[in-house]
Structure 1
């Protein structure tokens, strides 16, 4: 299980005195635990939900790195990029644009969706088909292109 792997890797990083990996994994585990206790009752997250939390955390790091770089704070930007790299090791490999276009086309055809008015249902179908192997922004751009072209 992914959560157990995170905790095991955290112990290994602490023993190795790897501060970057230790702090990044602590942050990731805290985010997972926060998601577990959010809502009405505490519960164990599924593998996909843990993956979703890690994806969101990686996206936060990427956005923060961009913001720091734009503000001329390159040291903080480098730290954020390094944390994103650590998290990327736990995420599935991102698929290419060509593969993504094919998956989105098939998902839209299977759901019978076309036209810009069906963006919401189309995104839901596409995200389910992609299953975390591509960023939401990339998926949205391809869905939008498919809907306006078709």
Structure 2
């Protein structure tokens, strides 16, 4: 089942349960998917593109959460956090820090990287290999740590 169909079913469930936060979050995801389909002009939307949409939406909500928290607007921060948790359910299982470190060590050995100069090579391979399993910031931080 495609992400769009999964989201549509989740929207129906949220409507039946009268879960406003879930409904708003899921409608936003569906809107982004439809926008991507429109931009693709009939071309099939790949799972990688769908994952990228979800990750971007989670990042946006995380940034908003941090800003609202810093400003003392806990009411708005709670909504952003709840939406983040709902959207995360549709991502593949995220890697733990230990699993991420093992994956990046493997990528470093495959690419032959030896120092921080090779970070670009490692990041390119890691971003492709770990798409959806970890966010770019975590991948970058771990790669920098292991290459220094």
Q: TM-score, normalised by structure 2?
A: 0.91
Shift of 1:118: 2.1
Tell me the SS of whatever aligns to 1:87: helix
Distance 1:33 1:115 in 2: 42
Shift of 1:123: 0.5
Equivalences, count: 147
Q: Does the CA-based 8 Å contact 1:104-1:129 persist in structure 2?
A: no
Matches within 5 A, 1:5-24: 5-24=6-25
User: Which structure has more RCO (C-alpha within 8 Å, separation ≥ 6)?
Assistant: 2
> Which residue of the partner structure matches residue 135 of structure 1?
135
Distance 1:121 1:38 in 2: 30
Q: Does 1:54 align with 2:46?
A: no
Q: TM-score, normalised by structure 1?
A: 0.90
Tell me the SS of whatever aligns to 2:64: helix
Distance 1:107 1:61 in 2: 30
Q: Does 1:37 align with 2:62?
A: no
CA deviation string 1:101-141 (max 9, x = no partner): 11001012112222222222211111222232112111101
Distance 2:44 2:76 in 1: 33
Distance 1:88 1:75 in 2: 20
Distance 2:108 2:36 in 1: 31
Distance 1:114 1:36 in 2: 41
**Stretches of structure 2 lacking an aligned partner (at least 5 in a row):** none
Q: Does the CA-based 8 Å contact 1:123-1:143 persist in structure 2?
A: yes
**Stretches of structure 1 lacking an aligned partner (at least 5 in a row):** none
**Alignment RMSD:** 1.5
CA deviation string 1:70-119 (max 9, x = no partner): 01111000000000011111112221111111100101211222222222
Q: Does the CA-based 8 Å contact 1:127-1:139 persist in structure 2?
A: yes
CA deviation string 1:27-67 (max 9, x = no partner): 0111122222336x343311221111111101111111110
